Structure 1
Amino acid sequence: MAGRWIETWEPEDETFWREKGERVARRNLWYSVLSEHIGFSIWTLWSVMVLFMGPEYGIDPAGKFFLISTATLVGALVRVPYTFAVARFGGRNWTIFSAVSLLVPTLAAFWVMEPGTSYGTFVAVAALTGIGGGNFASSMTNINAFFPLRKKGWALGLNAGGGNIGVPVVQLVGLLVIGTLGASHPRIVLGVYIPLIVLAAVCAALYMDNLRPVKNDTGAALEAVRDPHTWIMAVLYIGTFGSFIGYSFAFGLVLQTQFGRTPLQAASLTFVGPLLGSLIRPVGGRLADRYGGARITLATFVAMAAATGVVIHASGTASLPVFLTGFTALFVLTGLGNGSTYKMIPGIFHTKALARGLDGEAAAVHGRRLSGAAMGLIGAVGALGGLAINLAFRQSFQASGTGTAAFWSFLAFYGVCTTITWAVYLRRPAPAPARAQLGYAEV
């Protein structure tokens, strides 16, 4: 019966997985994707709402960048408690609650979205939409528990990618409204999402399950916090997911502010990059399953640095076609990197378990225990990268009227991420006893 508490869950047991586990895990995955998808749409809602905010709203570009930065910040912070909520309340139960809670920011935005509303009110409502960012952390923690290590890259990539598609979808809804009715009807976008939120909650109630073996482990959380790999992966995730969400929020505003695009012109372009980045995220996970997450992540950061160089050139020469080409490439690469970095997390902790002398199911359990605790922290810190990107754009436009300076800072950071990935996970270690050697290249 759907929605029950499952008392025993052993995904690494191939017989269990073949006879029961895979079917149940896949069902939970699909409805998790639906809820997370809506969560991402609400989290990034203000990347669309600002396109409706013409001169009559009295808000300058810096003020609009601050609105989207507020949503990004709250979305990053709530990821930590959302991570631990799955074990406390159950994956199904928390998915229902987190879906229903999205009605609060959506209805609030519906109420206030008109000229004459105070800027402080807009900031408060933008902050409320941040709870949609928390859905990612709880969803990923939940799905991580359902799948065996050999399937995690694909499952986590599909779960996250399906959620990430919520970004271009809400932007497409905005484009449809602006293109057909003009930029004076933002409430229609919000009205579309109210029944979808209800649908996601109902589906979670009918078709998802809670896993009894998944429990909050204070010891695992503390161990994950103390483990340097948690923070190393958080830095790398800033480079991949932080870039994806930061660019998704800011792209339309950059087009309007730096290239003088109208709301309709900006909306017609902003969805393409996030859509491609979302669709390719499962590919990043699949490639990581096959070739090793560290190798795919390294190649991704090198390519992201090159694409940023193209964007810097286009920004300096005011070439919109070249700018769009470079920016779209960045979105695609962030999607690949998102998939490969999230594959690395469970692989790293499983490898460390093997190095400690554990093997078989004991190593798998230890790896799941620590990776589940680490994912929330990594996801939260990674999302803060989106805040940094939005604030960098705000400062760059305030100082010079263009985003060029911000892009130079992003290029430098991708260079740092490239170096870290190679030095920590791919460089051959010095000779050491066999048990101390960690084969991170395969994670």
Structure 2
Amino acid sequence: MSSTPPPADAPATRSGGEWLESWDPENAETWDSGLAWRTLWITTFCLTLCFVAWFLPSAIIPKLNALGYTFTKDQLYWMAAMPGLAAGLLRIVWMVLPPLMGTRKMVTLTTLLLILSTLGWGVRVMAPTAPYWELMVLAFLAGIGGGAFSGFMPSTSYFFPKRMQGTALGIQAGLGNLGVSLVQLLTPYLIGMSFLAVVGGSQMMSVPGKPDKQVWFQNAAFVWIPLMLVGAALAWTMLRSVPITANIKQQFDIFGNVDTWYMTLLYIMTFGTFSGLSAQFGLLMANLYGIGNPGIVAGTGAGTQVLVPGYTVPEVASFVFLGPLVGALARFAFAPLTDRMGGAIWTLISGIGLVASIAWTIPALTPDTTSAESLHAGFMRFLWGMIAIFLFSGIGNASTFKQMPMIFEKRQAGGVIGWTAAIAAFGPFFFGIGVTTLGPTVFYMIGIAFAVLCIVITWMRYARKGAPKPS
């Protein structure tokens, strides 16, 4: 095949069966809005399950030791970081699949692959006997759910005109991101439902300061597998594919465009923050204000003791879903505003909001254990600060995906969406490394500096009057 990219209006080389004869969403007379919206809703359902599979480890890993495992704090951080590393690597693969495989095959196969890690986690929580390396492999396989984002989003963008892509991609990404809070919210309830445990017996979960609890932790994983089978069936029977012509070499021409690199930085600021915090939020909360802080809790199992009189150790599961929920809803809610006002102005607001909310949160990263009152005040500052960070990252997630289709032509826009999403998916991995090696305070201060850089780029390149690429 030629290494020269075909023009945007080049005739399709594939047709028939799953492949559409032609597709021009900018032509209102021929655009099939029914097919476009059907594609959006089916792929969004499957993408939500992708995020469930990707972040299922984040709901399980903080409880592994309570179920009988004996991993160190650093081992748990690395395990929670592994899905992010995998997702970043796999997104580089998935970003080139839409033109090669088409929407139908890609979405169907991906949804079936989610079952691998989901089934594995369900099996391995039933008894604390799995070696560390095996759980790390399962954590890596969970990254398939994160990798899918770089294929699903570009393929959906092919179906909608530019004037609607902010809304369409915001709906898909926003509702897809809800899979994060969905799995974290439902897990505490699912593990208590004995009637769902059609496979395996119960486990005893020991949490400091509370009586041992009988749970069926496999439910947190197994309940999603039937939905994954339904999603794959819907994708195979109801989706079609847009005949975009581009081989792998042609798709890499995006790297010669400076805006690819600028938008990569901006999406790291937004989605990298969202995904990184989503994966590590529970562990960070536990290690600062809960069972992982030796200045607050001493001992394990029946011998645990709360060292600060009057302090109630927070139940991580009661709070951890809130941040991802706020971030996902913000992406969904602000997407129509980006279509109306442009994406650059909201990316600017996102960056400024992130600087302010991170700075406000930093004092709470060093808990004051002198009294229950100071600990409670610190915890509330930490919680509200984190929710604010999630809010502004969600706004930026919506706005950057509006900018990309405006800056690049259709085929390149799909590739840039996939590439930027791939790099930002390393968020959980780098957040885990940063918190473990640098400590939360230093890592958050670096986050402020990076957000300031992104604010400058947004203003100079995209948002100011007379900007080179207004978007």
TM over 0.5: yes
Q: What secondary structure does 2:246 align onto?
A: coil
Matched residues in 2 for 1:3 and 1:192: separation? 33
Alignment of 1:260-275 (within 5 A): 260=290, 265-275=315-325
Alignment of 1:1-12 (within 5 A): 4-12=18-26
Paired positions, count: 407
**Equivalent in the alignment of 1:63:** 75
Pair 320,180 (structure 1): closer, same or farther in 2 beyond 3 Å: farther
**Equivalent in the alignment of 1:421:** 458
Matched residues in 2 for 1:69 and 1:241: separation? 15
CA contact (8 A) 1:284 1:337 kept: no
Structure 2 residue aligned with 1:144, among 132, 136, 157?
157
CA contact (8 A) 1:108 1:125 kept: yes
Pair 264,185 (structure 1): closer, same or farther in 2 beyond 3 Å: farther
Q: Per-residue deviation at 1:194? A: 1.1
**Equivalent in the alignment of 1:356:** none
Pair 187,218 (structure 1): closer, same or farther in 2 beyond 3 Å: closer
Matched residues in 1 for 2:404 and 2:216: separation? 43
Q: Which amino acid aligns with 2:81?
A: S
CA contact (8 A) 2:50 2:179 kept: yes
Range with bigger deviation, 412-421 or 329-338? 412-421
Task: Say whether residues 1:53 and 2:64 are aligned partners.
Answer: yes
Q: Which amino acid aligns with 1:370?
A: Q
Structure 2 residue aligned with 1:91, among 86, 100, 103?
103
Q: What secondary structure does 2:366 align onto?
A: helix
Q: Per-residue deviation at 1:70? A: 1.1
Q: Which amino acid aligns with 2:221?
A: L
Per-residue Cα deviation, 1:162-184 (whole angstroms, up to 9, x for no partner):
11010001111212135667745
Alignment of 1:219-258 (within 5 A): 220-258=250-288
**Equivalent in the alignment of 1:294:** 344
Matched residues in 1 for 2:351 and 2:17: separation? 41
Structure 2 residue aligned with 1:311, among 361, 365, 385?
361
* Larger gyration radius, structure 1 or structure 2: 2
Matched residues in 2 for 1:128 and 1:145: separation? 28
RMSD of equivalent CA atoms: 2.0
**Equivalent in the alignment of 1:385:** 427
Alignment of 1:12-161 (within 5 A): 12-17=26-31, 21-54=32-65, 56-113=68-125, 114-161=127-174
Per-residue Cα deviation, 1:82-102 (whole angstroms, up to 9, x for no partner):
122121121011111000111
Q: Per-residue deviation at 1:141? A: 1.1
Q: Per-residue deviation at 1:428? A: 4.8
Matched residues in 2 for 1:47 and 1:215: separation? 38
Range with bigger deviation, 265-274 or 277-286? 277-286
Structure 2 residue aligned with 1:209, among 226, 240, 245?
240
Matched residues in 1 for 2:17 and 2:399: separation? 31
Per-residue Cα deviation, 1:139-186 (whole angstroms, up to 9, x for no partner):
101111000000000001111111101000111121213566774532
Q: What secondary structure does 1:270 align onto?
A: coil
CA contact (8 A) 2:266 2:454 kept: yes
Matched residues in 2 for 1:290 and 1:376: separation? 24
Matched residues in 2 for 1:317 and 1:111: separation? 36
CA contact (8 A) 1:246 1:389 kept: yes
Matched residues in 2 for 1:208 and 1:58: separation? 46
Matched residues in 1 for 2:433 and 2:334: separation? 28
Per-residue Cα deviation, 1:360-379 (whole angstroms, up to 9, x for no partner):
xxxxxxx1011112222111
Matched residues in 2 for 1:338 and 1:3: separation? 35
Q: What secondary structure does 1:92 align onto?
A: helix
Range with bigger deviation, 172-181 or 276-285? 172-181
Pair 178,255 (structure 1): closer, same or farther in 2 beyond 3 Å: farther
TM-score by length of 2: 0.82
Matched residues in 2 for 1:249 and 1:26: separation? 30
CA contact (8 A) 2:269 2:451 kept: yes
Pair 27,264 (structure 1): closer, same or farther in 2 beyond 3 Å: farther
TM-score by length of 1: 0.87
Matched residues in 2 for 1:218 and 1:405: separation? 39
Gaps of 5+ in 1: 350-366, 398-402, 430-436
CA contact (8 A) 1:152 1:343 kept: yes
Pair 3,59 (structure 1): closer, same or farther in 2 beyond 3 Å: farther
Task: Say whether residues 1:190 and 2:221 are aligned partners.
Answer: yes
Task: Say whether residues 1:163 and 2:167 are aligned partners.
Answer: no
More helix by share: 1
Matched residues in 2 for 1:252 and 1:218: separation? 38
Matched residues in 2 for 1:280 and 1:255: separation? 22
Task: Say whether residues 1:321 and 2:377 are aligned partners.
Answer: no
Range with bigger deviation, 169-178 or 155-164? 169-178
Matched residues in 2 for 1:323 and 1:132: separation? 29
**Equivalent in the alignment of 2:371:** none
